[in-house]
A and B are shown apart, each in its own frame.
Chain A
Amino acid sequence: MNNTFQGILWGLILSVISVNSWSDTPVFLVTPNTRVMPQLARSQLGTAIYQVINNSNRTLSNISLKNLPLGITQVANPGPDYCTSLTTLNGAGSLCLIELQINSSVSGNVNGGPVICAGGGLFCSQPYVLDQLSMQVTPGPLSQTCDANIANFSYELTQPFDSGTIDPGTIFSWGPARNQLFLSPSNPNLTGCTTTDPTNTDGISWMQMRVLSAEHFWVGQLLNYCHHHVTDFYTPPTSYGAPRTTIQPTLGGYCSTATSLAPANYGQQIRWNYSGTGSETANNWVNKNRMWYGVDCSDFTSFIYNFAFGIQFNSDTGYQAGQANNGTQDDLLPNTQTSGSLLGIPTYSVPANDAAGLLLCKDGTVETRSGLSTDYCGSGPSGPVPSNNGYFSVFLYPQPVTTDRHFPEPTPGNITPAMLELLKPGDLIYLGFSPDSGKHGDGNNPTSVVTHVITWTGKKIGYGPNDVNPAQIAPESVCPTNWQPQIGDFAIIDSHYQGPDYRDFTPCFYQNNIWGVRRVIGYMH
């Protein structure tokens, strides 16, 4: 029995016996925003981001990180929610983020902490045990191959996620715009692992596995669904004059405030996979600021491609799908393009404004792009545009005459099970709904018919080594009767409902509303 466990056991025994009403309130509540990668090769840097709250209801002083092990240091981060000094925490209820960097060559294995104290060491707290720093060092040297570093995000995590631009700075805010991130240039050099050649199967495969690894890493951070661009920004209690709980679902700064997960009632905590112990409680989610971190669907996909490869594209759902950002194409569908109105492709003039890769055709190939006026799926190189319903979409052209153009009529049969096998990991599937339609999926995008984006994993729900275990599948609000994971269904990843999670690719929601699919891997740099 190790000393820590023994100590806690004694504490529990003594406290339960000694007081009638046992309560526990750590002086500082330290919760993870971004956990350190669990395993690092010697010489790699580890990064952990924690939110610290002065939980004492009192003004404290002389606050410091206590006994940080050798090799672990607090580093500055220019993000708006990071402590520039721990005096920020003096006030009752005050909070900030701290970033810790772990030099694995010096620190060796890390277990426990960080400990933060006030009063010179009288009042000390650390994260709950499952949230504490935990990292194992493997003997070096670090392999320099691409394949050995598919899930190595050590270098990415050392880079600030937040740019200095606040979007926008005068109304309900989405917070900081994302910073351009870069692949590791040395030890290991991963810049040569990516490819823009679709025939480079090694490069394509590496990118597909890496984007799934990146999404898996962020699913593990248990973030919420929020209208933010980055993961380390929280909506302030008063966002440009409005209490954050009053922010409408279409506005910047909104976070999912769901406190009862329909079709819930299966005994879960506030977040569906919260354990109910340690920091994973409803009280911490609601009252200790945890629910105010997160990203929405298209900010998740743009953040992930930036995080995994440094690839930039627009974080707005419709613009990411290729619609023009002047509002003229808000109802445009892949199969309703005309020679005068084409969905966009990356131009790299302002990378953060680009569409995400190229649209996918029904046969699994990408649209042919020899020029903006000649894109097509399924018909000859000379056109025609529109494209004979050749795009991977449930929306056909022409729509029935009676159809409201703001709410196109889906033809689910246009996507067959065989077509799903043509999708590749990392493909982005855009879902089409009309704003204010009152139908499922309506809501968060106030302008475009494109309201949601998900990432195809290519994996199925099951118990095999390459499957997604059904226990990892999050509940689905839109399909109340059959959200439960079905063995053999495809699993996708999206930020929706209560944040980034694996979900069942259900026919009732995702499959029946595919606006279009865009492929980034192999087609963007």
Chain B
Amino acid sequence: MQIRILLAYFFIMSFPIISFATFRPVVALSSGLAITNVYSSTVIDFAPFQNSYIGRNHYNTQFDSGLFMGVETAFSCNFTTQIGLEYFVNSSFKESGSVYQFTDPLFNNLAYRYKIQSRRISLAAKISRAFRQIWHPYISASMGSASNKAFHYTEYPVTSADVPMAQPFDNHTTSAFTYSIGIGADVDVAEHWRLGAGYRFVDLGKACLGVSPLQSSTETICSTHMNANEILVQISYLG
């Protein structure tokens, strides 16, 4: 929550500067690796028995790519800011783990796996300072809405004698608040073009599977704390 307040303060404080400035349109494409916490662990009730689902992965690494569209303006000597909207989507994260039937490790008969894809649209801002006219180290932040789809739940038998559940957990999309903060640097490579690289931390929110018709409850398997550490490269066009 403190981070959200800081972000809001950051935007509010920027408005007077932006309102008197000259604007350049900016389009940026970003792509990189997202090391994301997808861990899941839960107990689900199938009265009269329960099963444990114990995740294996704390982190899974996939590509995260996005598009930024906005404007850039200078608001002080050597300082510029970019503000706009960004849309990011990742290649599917994969979470896997073990099913303990009856919550009994003796009946560790199945392994499970599902995928998560997060699509995010955010209000984003970047403040940079120019050095030697071509280097632009920056800090960035964004906040917005994530649509996290958990899908393709599949069970795999541990031995040839084991058989997956007849009706697996359904696909499900969870909406969540998302924000990011980052740091990096751009460099001018042509009159209108910049290349850059940076790091950012992204809170993706959570992703939950749907329920199975076999269960007697509404609990389901969730990756509850999907925090990503991302290394991105970006190319920007400034009009």
Contacts and interface: CB of A to CB of B under 8 A. Distances in A.
Whether chain B is bound by chain A comes out as yes
Interface of A: 4, 7-8, 10-15, 17-19, 21-27, 29-30, 56, 58, 66, 115, 117, 119-129, 132, 278-279
Contacts of B51: 122
10 contacts: A10-B156, A11-B110, A14-B156, A25-B107, A27-B107, A56-B107, A117-B166, A119-B214, A122-B49, A125-B163
Given A18-B98, A119-B46, A124-B165, A12 B109 contact: no
A24 B156 CA distance: 13
Contacts of B158: 8, 11-12, 15, 22, 24
B164 interface: yes
Contacts of A19: 54, 98, 105, 108
B157 to A, nearest CB: 5
B56 A8 contact: no
B109 A10 contact: no
B167 interface: yes
Contacts of A117: 163, 166
B101 interface: yes
Given A18-B96, A125-B163, 11 more contacts: A7-B156, A11-B156, A11-B162, A15-B98, A25-B107, A27-B101, A121-B165, A121-B214, A124-B162, A124-B164, A128-B159
In this complex, the member of A56, A120, A124 whose beta carbon has the largest number of chain B beta carbons within 10 angstroms is: A124
Contacts of A121: 165-167, 214
Contacts of B97: 14, 18
Given A8-B156, A11-B156, A66-B166, A26 B109 contact: yes
Interface of B: 46, 49, 51, 54-56, 96-98, 101-102, 105-113, 156-167, 214
A4 B161 CA distance: 11
B157 A14 contact: no
B107 A22 contact: no
Contacts of B107: 25, 27, 56
B53 to A, nearest CB: 11
A56 B107 CA distance: 8
Contacts of B162: 11, 24, 26, 124-126
Contact of B161 (A15, A18, A58, A125): A125
B105 A21 contact: yes
A14 B113 contact: yes
Smallest CB-CB A-B distances: 6 pairs: A121-B166, A14-B111, A11-B156, A124-B163, A129-B160, A18-B56
A21 B102 CA distance: 17
B98 A14 contact: yes
Contact of B166 (A4, A124, A128, A279): A124
B214 A10 contact: no
Given A21-B105, A56-B102, A128 B96 contact: no
B160 A128 contact: yes
Contacts of A129: 160
A15 B111 contact: yes
B56 A14 contact: yes
In this complex, the member of B105, B111, B160 whose beta carbon has the largest number of chain A beta carbons within 10 angstroms is: B160
A129 B162 CA distance: 10
A449 to B, nearest CB: 47
Contacts of A14: 56, 96-98, 111-113, 156
A11 B49 contact: no
A112 to B, nearest CB: 9
A173 to B, nearest CB: 32
Contacts of A10: 111, 113, 156
A30 B54 contact: no
B202 to A, nearest CB: 26
Contacts of A8: 156-160
A128 B161 CA distance: 4
In this complex, the member of B55, B157, B167 whose beta carbon has the largest number of chain A beta carbons within 10 angstroms is: B157
Given A14-B111, A119-B49, A127 B161 contact: yes
A15 B164 contact: no
Nearest to A58: B102
Nearest to B55: A18
A117 B165 CA distance: 9
Nearest to B161: A26
Contacts of B159: 8, 11, 24, 26, 128, 278
A287 to B, nearest CB: 14
A40 to B, nearest CB: 23
Nearest to A116: B163
A17 B165 contact: no
A233 B186 CA distance: 80
A129 B49 CA distance: 27
A19 B159 CA distance: 15
Contacts of A23: 105-106, 108
Contact of B160 (A15, A123, A278): A278
A15 B108 contact: yes
Contacts of B156: 7-8, 10-11, 14
Contacts of B164: 124
A129 B160 CA distance: 5
Contacts of A18: 54-56, 96-98, 111
B109 A27 contact: yes
Nearest to A127: B161
A21 B100 CA distance: 12
Contacts of B56: 14, 17-18
A22 to B, nearest CB: 7
A393 B140 CA distance: 101
A437 B156 CA distance: 58
In this complex, the member of A22, A25, A66 whose beta carbon has the largest number of chain B beta carbons within 10 angstroms is: A25
Contacts of A27: 101, 107, 109
B214 A29 contact: no
Nearest to A6: B156
A126 B159 CA distance: 10
B41 to A, nearest CB: 11
A263 B85 CA distance: 80
Contacts of B161: 24, 26, 29-30, 125-128, 278-279
A130 to B, nearest CB: 8
A147 B159 CA distance: 41
A260 to B, nearest CB: 27
Contact of B49 (A22, A58, A124, A125): A58
Contacts of A29: 161
A279 B108 CA distance: 17
A122 B49 CA distance: 10
Contacts of A13: 111
A309 to B, nearest CB: 37
Contacts of B96: 14, 18
A356 B163 CA distance: 48
A10 B99 CA distance: 13
Contacts of B55: 18
A227 B54 CA distance: 48
